[in-house]
Amino acid sequence: MKRMSIEQLLGINKFAVDDDEAHIILKKDICAACMDKPCTFACPAGLYTEKDGEISFDYAGCLECGTCRTVCPKEGAISWQYPRGGFGINFRYG
Amino acid sequence: MEEEKFATIIVGAGPAGSTAAYLLAKEGLDVLLIEKGATPGSKNMFGGRMYSHALHKIIPNFWEEAPVERPVVKETITMMNGSRSVSMDFQEVKWGTPPYHSLTLLRADFDAWLAAKAEEAGAMVACGIRVDDLIRENGRVVGIQAGEDRMLADVVIAADGVNSLIAQKAGLGKKFSPKQVATGIKQVIQLSEETISQRFQLSGNQGAAQLFVGDCTKGMHGGGFLYTNKSSISLGLVVTAGALQHSQYKIIDLMEDFKENPHIAPLIEGGEIVEHSAHLVPEAGLNMMPQLFGDGILVAGDAAGFVLNLGYIVRGVDFAIASGEAAAKAVLAARANNNFSRQGLSTYQQLLKESFVMKELVAYRQAPQFMANPRMFTSYPQLVTGLMGKMFTVDGGPPVRLLGKVFSQIKQSKIGLTQLAVDGLKGARLL
Ligand SMILES: Cc1cc2nc3c(=O)[nH]c(=O)nc-3n(C[C@H](O)[C@H](O)[C@H](O)COP(=O)(O)OP(=O)(O)OC[C@H]3O[C@@H](n4cnc5c(N)ncnc54)[C@H](O)[C@@H]3O)c2cc1C
Ligand code: SF4
Ligand code: SF4
């Protein structure tokens, strides 16, 4: 089976993206001081990426697992909640 | 706005919440089951099979109407190391007939069905609503807040899953550490029913379950899983968040590597990926259990850490169902005494103690620590696959008897004979 990029994989999923409210918000100044940036390895949707030491994040493809919130070593860097009711990932199989 | 008052409000329409709602509604109580997903099940995923006993007790022969996939009749444990793998198969044909021992499921369908059963029994099911907070009066939980809406109840049941924000808001649960949970990543791969039955040597609608340990997680604490559904395969990996915290590998790459692994690729060849999902598993059992009840509130299912992972068996859904049942019974007992305080709800603890939920979690209390032993994910898969490789390789070289092969392999594995004996004994004692 052909290897797929995470963009392709997320493209198969069904999301109802909440354009008005981000459910996960980063404090990038705290991230700047984070050495290992484990979120970039651990997020199963690959939503955390690092470029030139700066973190960028997109909440749109979030699978709502909660891994980032758990692995983040810096208190206060991630403000995490579930998307508003009805929004976010819609698993059709699960 | 006039505030509505219910006998019980249940947060989360997973197996725990829907079971509690079903049982309370059947007793004629005014029950509200609130789910943030657009439909029940739309936020839920798991590896793939449910052990039937707990639900069979509540809804006898549920499989006749529930959307289930295949009854599992074949279990395989596979150790992998590079080009080598060693598998152990177990088959029980009887499990393919009622009462099915375990059934593979897809949660979007199954959870929606179970919530519909609660609705049928008279519960009010409100989807697309995220509960944001609890309402308290004199320190007692008396309802929930969702956006602008406030709803009151004698009791709130937090059945909101592993990231239980509600149990935390109630002050019953603490934030867990990365060592206490694992990230599960899964893809559903569509294949025809016949292809699946042929590939896994299954007859009719029978199903297979397979667990993988070894280099699929690059030695990190965790493993792979595969479950056959009717016309799809659930394939995925589980890795402790603690290991991911210090990993050099991205979990999304591990998943793509896993599908390319020569021991997996032929099983899914020709399939089409139809979903990519992820979820946390509470792995630490009793060690991460919150307080199970407070004034006006109970905690059930994953929110309470009720998952048992023995490495060769992963169970959470039957625990969720049984704890939902215990929660419902505790609410009924509290109603009989008209006492919804902490003390009035304490029957919950007693009911759990008497059920398999606590009995098994207590019995296997030390399994999580044992399973965290890194040798499980590196040295042992190497040892076993290496040994089998030696046994079955014929290359015209000088003859070495089996015992010699075993010793040279153990030496190579650097585990040490004493360590091997200790691990073996420990495993036999704890698992
Ligand atoms: C990768 C993986 C593999 C697994 N494999 C198996 C397996 O093969 N067999 C097995 O038995 N178990 C397995 N489990 C465990 C099993 O999935 C769980 O134990 C089980 O789903 C727990 O049920 P629950 O009802 O407690 O919680 P959930 O099923 O998580 O349900 C919680 C519900 O609450 C809702 N919710 C959460 N917060 C709010 C809020 N604030 N407002 C409104 N709604 C809210 C959620 O949307 C969700 O619907 C696995 C788990 C994972 C992650
Ligand atoms: S792990 Fe936390 S602090 Fe570090 S980069 Fe990621 S979000 Fe920021
Ligand atoms: S919750 Fe899970 S999927 Fe969403 S951003 Fe965090 S790690 Fe990624």
**How does B376-393 read in b/e, with b if 16+ C-beta sit within 10 Å?**
bbbbbbbbbbbbbbbeee
What is the least distance, in Å, from the CA of B203 to any CA of chain A? 24
Which atom of ligand 1 lies closest to the CA of B12?
Answer: 34
Mutation to test the A interface, candidates B35, B39, B42, most A Cβ within 10 Å: B42
Domain extents for chain B? 4-68+105-174+287-354, 181-282, 371-430
Contacts of A63 in chain B (CB under 8 A): 276-279
> Which of residues A1 and B162 earns the better pLDDT score?
B162
Please check whether residue B41 touches A, CB under 8 A.
yes
DSSP for B194-240 reads: HHHHHHTT--TT-EEEEEEEEGGGTTSSEEEEEEE-SSEEEEEEEEE
B4-68+105-174+287-354 in CATH: which number? 3.50.50.60
B44/A63 touch (CB, cutoff 8 Å), yes or no: no
What is the least distance, in Å, from the CA of B129 to any CA of chain A? 4
The distance in angstroms from the start CA to the end CA of chain B is: 55
Question: B364, B390 in Cβ contact below 8 A?
Answer: no
For residue B400, the model assigns a pLDDT of: 78
- Parts of chain B with a pLDDT under 70: 1-2
- Which residue has a Cα nearest atom 5 of ligand 3? A62
Residues of B (232-251) whose Cβ lies below 8 Å from A: 232, 234, 241, 244-251
- CA B360 to ligand 1 centroid distance, Å: 19
- CA A70 to ligand 3 centroid distance, Å: 10
For residue B66, the model assigns a pLDDT of: 98
CA–CA gap between residue B333 and residue B24 (Å, rounded): 11
What ipTM does the predicted assembly reach? 0.98
Domain extents for chain A? 6-90
| Multiple choice CATH, A6-90, 3.30.70.20, 3.40.50.1110, 3.20.20.80, 3.40.50.10160 | 3.30.70.20
pLDDT in tens, A9-68: 999 999 999 999 999 999 999 999 999 999 999 999 999 999 988 999 999 999 999 999
pLDDT in tens, B181-226: 999 999 999 999 999 999 999 999 999 999 999 999 998 999 999 9
Contacts of B161 in chain A (CB under 8 A): none
DSSP for B265-321 reads: HHHHTT-EEEEEEEEEEE-SGGGG----EETTEEE-GGGGT--EE-SS-EE-HHHHH
Residues of B (3-32) whose Cβ lies below 8 Å from A: none
B277/A63 touch (CB, cutoff 8 Å), yes or no: yes
CA–CA gap between residue B134 and residue B146 (Å, rounded): 9
* Pocket test residue of A63, A79, A80, A87 for ligand 3, highest count of atoms within 8 A of CB: A63
Residue A8: its H or E element = helix A6-12
Distance of CA B378 to the CA centre of its chain: 24
- CA-to-CA separations, B429 to A7, B42, B218, B285, B381, in angstroms, rounded: 46, 40, 27, 18, 21
For residue B312, the model assigns a pLDDT of: 87
For residue B405, the model assigns a pLDDT of: 78
Contacts of A61 in chain B (CB under 8 A): none
Architecture of the structural domain at B181-282: 2-Layer Sandwich (3.30)
Beta bridge partners of B233: B189, B228
Q: Indicate if ligand 1 lies below 6 Å from the C-beta of B160.
A: yes
**CB-count exposure of residue B403 (10 Å: 0-12, 13-18, 19+):** exposed
Beta bridge partners of B226: B210, B235
Contacts of B47 in chain A (CB under 8 A): none
For residue B2, the model assigns a pLDDT of: 57
B111/A94 touch (CB, cutoff 8 Å), yes or no: yes
B108/A40 touch (CB, cutoff 8 Å), yes or no: no
**CB-count exposure of residue B196 (10 Å: 0-12, 13-18, 19+):** buried
pTM for this model (two decimals): 0.95
Residue of B nearest to A90 (CA): B42
What lines the ligand 2 site, CB under 6 Å?
A: A 26, 30-31, 34, 37-39, 48, 55, 72, 74, 77-78
For residue B15, the model assigns a pLDDT of: 98
Question: A42, A68 in Cβ contact below 8 A?
Answer: yes
